[in-house]
Structure 1
Amino acid sequence: MTRQFPDGFLWGAATAAHQIEGGNVASDWWKLEHRPDGPCAEPSGDACDSYHRYPEDVAIVAGLGLGSYRFSIEWSRIEPEPGEFSRVQLDHYRRMIATVLDAGLRPTVTLHHFTSPFWFTKGGGWARADSADRFLRYCETVAPLLTEAAYVCTFNEPNIAASFARYFEPGYVAPAGLPDPDSRISDGLTRAHLRVRDALRAEVGPRVGWAVATQSFSGVDGPDELSAAYAYERETRFLEVAVDDDWLGVQAYSRTIVGPDGPLPVSDETERTLMDWEYYPEALGSALREAHRIAPRVPLIVTENGIAAADDRRRIDYVRTALGEVLTAIDDGVDVRGYFYWSLLDNFEWAHGYRPTFGLVAVDRDTFARIPRPSAHWLGAVARANALDAD
């Protein structure tokens, strides 16, 4: 059976500057990666050299038949020191956006994807009272680049950014899993999002939102008060912020089952991804429904979904099931406007380094050669048909 997506449904692949560009030396994460007691398995280094090779990446997205390329602009390149803006870097991202447009793609641009300039984080980061002013200054500087963007995303996964912020605290020892979020950071990110959203609407129109990591929280026997309470600071409050946004990004990979003492470990009998997450593509359906429940009037976009897998056949299986969840949600009245796979390339996965391979496209770590996987061509065929076959 073939199931059709709505007319105008936007298909794309996503990346982030720090994870693919390489040499992001003015950023806080670059410093963190080189700290002896830091949480990272390895430094990002040259990443995928996409700072220079972005035309090849854009050509791959267009060649697959996708309609949009989601990427981020790197704040620490634009403003390497407070108030010091680089015309060279602004020109670089202007050329990149022009390349995307010339390829017939619609750019979807993220303004902050986890990394900040080192000077910003060292000076107190999002906990500072004037952090929104500082971020707004950068966003207003890049706003002229965004006039032809399909969508503008202020922050990628602010709920995860609020957890990552703990890594930068002096003397902080990283736990085995993701740190608990810092509410001061969550508040600062929220203030900055609202300021920038309202300011950018005057420049780019009603195309501004943010993308939240949704983790399909539930109790052992389904939704309950315990899992809802656990989810609030880690997800729900960020969905609530979006009720007046132009769109809301939903990013889902797996689920989190919460017991009396917190999240339960994934059992040894359960299939896991290379991120050590449960293989659970159905999480996307529950994530879309939860976002719709909280922000029912806001269009949703799946700004990230995918799997870190050694076996590309499991990548296709995963995405097929996840897309089926999207279609079922649409049938149930959820307004979903697009789907972006994470990620276009095998890249630097933060504390995990280069071991987890999410990419539709493999990247040779020595030569940076791009090798599209069968899953890339499969997803391209789905996008061109705007339809999903059951098998």
Structure 2
Amino acid sequence: MLTFPDGFLWGAATAAHQIEGNNVNSNWWVHENAPGTTIVEPSGDAADSYNRFRDDIRLLAELGLNSYRFSIEWARIEPERGMVSKAQVAHYRRMVETCHEFGIEPIVTLMHFTVPRWFERDGFWRAPDAADLFARYTELALPVVAEGVNYVCTINEPNIAAMLAGGEDASNLVAYGLPNPDLEVADALLASHKRSREVLSQLPQIKSGWTVATQAFKAVDEPGAAEKTREYGYVRDDWYSEMAAGDDFVGVQAYTQTFVGPEGPRPVAEGLETTLTGWEFYPPAAAEGIRSAWELSGHVPVMVTENGIATADDTRRIAYTQGALEHIHDTIDEGIEVLGYQHWSALDNYEWASGFRPTFGLIGWDRETFERTPKPSARWYGEVARANGLPRA
């Protein structure tokens, strides 16, 4: 048995727009429903978790998990610029209280890709007052996290957000290459993160950080590949972990690896197992992300805030997670402070431009009735969490 540290946070993660449904004031809702969109389908009702969050949290607790990472939706809290919905603040506060009712540690994300449509209309992250507006939103969200919340993720995957803002096809995010990031947006996201942390510091119990989509870029053994890998990877990955220096923790979100030649990233080699997103099946990804974030941040504590695979074969989800946790345990043995593991995802969800086809969830649900069905992987993972340990494969 591989035993994990006392207090290790065993959980699962979701994002509001991907499971709540009818997030009509968000920028993504606009894009999903725009004429001629390349997004394969709109989110619609999604998993209706806005109305069913209590059942979802209860189910996670019954499975044996002790934490839940979820996001709150800026577009609900501030649907129009300067217009604040007290009802939506109260809704998200009820989610925190429900977590505690069922013995679940809430881990709250303030921004998981989506923003209010007015924020995008008024300049998005390029607006000169973007950081001010995000700080104001953080102030509005303080009642949600004022009591009973110890961990807040300010911005989810700012490196992906900067790449999306670069204006290239979002479908590149599920292929072997990644779009060019908008470096101005990257700087704005960093400024927004820092301003948000300043606001959160009013609450002494809060530990805050942002979450980085670590990529495990690796150079092939060819002239020029190592230099290209450093150049390609720094602006898409490493810089964001470096900027986490001084934060309370850094989130690592890892799924696969990518090989880079002198010409740039290469497709997954023929014959290797891939997931429904086209990524290589690569369980060591999370551990490699942990080591990278730990070193680049100057030894800031790490939480795995996302890790999992999109698959229709749940036995492969178990195999992937078993391998991932074995490698994560190795990093703990190496002396790295790893706070917890949040599996992506609690529920099958709306996977952005790919729609509902990629199934990442530990829990499935019926598209007509929304009835939840835990998969065997959920039962397996719950037993690991209850034991705070992993049987050796």
SS in 1 for 2:280: coil
Q: What is the aligned partner in structure 1 of residue 11 from structure 2?
A: 12
Q: What is the aligned partner in structure 2 of residue 322 from structure 1?
A: 324
Q: CA deviation at 1:174?
A: 5.4
Deviations 1:177-200 (A, max 9, x none): 542211111111000001111221
Contact 2:76 2:85 in 1 (8 A): yes
Where in structure 2 are the equivalents of 1:71-220 lying within 5 Å?
71-147=70-146, 148-167=148-167, 176=172, 177=175, 178-220=178-220
> What CA distance in whole angstroms lies between the structure 2 residues aligned with 1:310 and 1:73?
28
Where in structure 2 are the equivalents of 1:369-388 lying within 5 Å?
369-388=371-390
Q: CA deviation at 1:325?
A: 0.7
Q: Which moved more, 1:281-290 or 1:178-187?
A: 178-187
> What CA distance in whole angstroms lies between the structure 1 residues aligned with 2:338 and 2:35?
43
SS in 1 for 2:203: helix
> What CA distance in whole angstroms lies between the structure 1 residues aligned with 2:41 and 2:180?
23
Q: What is the aligned partner in structure 2 of residue 302 from structure 1?
A: 304
> What CA distance in whole angstroms lies between the structure 2 residues aligned with 1:37 and 1:27?
18
Where in structure 2 are the equivalents of 1:248-263 lying within 5 Å?
248-263=250-265
Contact 2:228 2:263 in 1 (8 A): no
Contact 1:146 1:204 in 2 (8 A): no
Contact 1:144 1:203 in 2 (8 A): no
**AA partner of residue 119 (structure 1):** W
> What CA distance in whole angstroms lies between the structure 2 residues aligned with 1:365 and 1:4?
38
Q: Which moved more, 1:291-300 or 1:18-27?
A: 291-300
Q: What is the aligned partner in structure 1 of residue 367 from structure 2?
A: 365
Deviations 1:339-379 (A, max 9, x none): 00000000000011000000000111111110000000100
Q: What is the aligned partner in structure 1 of residue 248 from structure 2?
A: 246
Contact 2:90 2:144 in 1 (8 A): no
SS in 2 for 1:107: strand
> What CA distance in whole angstroms lies between the structure 2 residues aligned with 1:276 and 1:173?
16
Contact 2:93 2:143 in 1 (8 A): no
> What CA distance in whole angstroms lies between the structure 2 residues aligned with 1:6 and 1:74?
32
Contact 1:247 1:300 in 2 (8 A): yes
Identity %: 52
Q: CA deviation at 1:204?
A: 4.5
SS in 2 for 1:181: coil
Q: Which moved more, 1:313-322 or 1:328-337?
A: 328-337
Contact 1:218 1:228 in 2 (8 A): no
Contact 2:57 2:102 in 1 (8 A): yes
Superposition RMSD in Å = 1.4
> What CA distance in whole angstroms lies between the structure 2 residues aligned with 1:71 and 1:327?
24
**AA partner of residue 112 (structure 2):** H
Q: Which moved more, 1:294-303 or 1:112-121?
A: 294-303
Q: What is the aligned partner in structure 2 of residue 44 from structure 1?
A: 43
Q: CA deviation at 1:203?
A: 2.1
> What CA distance in whole angstroms lies between the structure 2 residues aligned with 1:173 and 1:381?
40
Contact 1:154 1:196 in 2 (8 A): yes
Deviations 1:161-180 (A, max 9, x none): 1122245xxxx665655422
Q: CA deviation at 1:275?
A: 0.6
Normalised TM-score (structure 1)? 0.96
SS in 1 for 2:244: helix
Contact 2:259 2:265 in 1 (8 A): yes
Deviations 1:230-260 (A, max 9, x none): 1111011111111110001001000111111
SS in 1 for 2:10: strand
**AA partner of residue 384 (structure 1):** R
Match of 1:230 among 229, 232, 243: 232
SS in 2 for 1:271: coil
Deviations 1:205-241 (A, max 9, x none): 3501111000101101499332121111101111111
**AA partner of residue 94 (structure 1):** R
Q: What is the aligned partner in structure 1 of residue 343 from structure 2?
A: 341
> What CA distance in whole angstroms lies between the structure 1 residues aligned with 2:171 and 2:354?
13
Contact 1:111 1:154 in 2 (8 A): yes
Normalised TM-score (structure 2)? 0.95
Contact 1:108 1:153 in 2 (8 A): yes
Q: What is the aligned partner in structure 2 of residue 63 from structure 1?
A: 62
SS in 1 for 2:378: helix
Q: Pick closer, same or farther for the CA change 1:116–1:235 going to 2, 3 Å.
A: same
Contact 2:171 2:353 in 1 (8 A): no
Contact 2:74 2:115 in 1 (8 A): yes
> What CA distance in whole angstroms lies between the structure 2 residues aligned with 1:188 and 1:237?
14
Q: What is the aligned partner in structure 1 of residue 269 from structure 2?
A: 267
* Residue segments in structure 2 that go unaligned for 5+ positions in a row: none
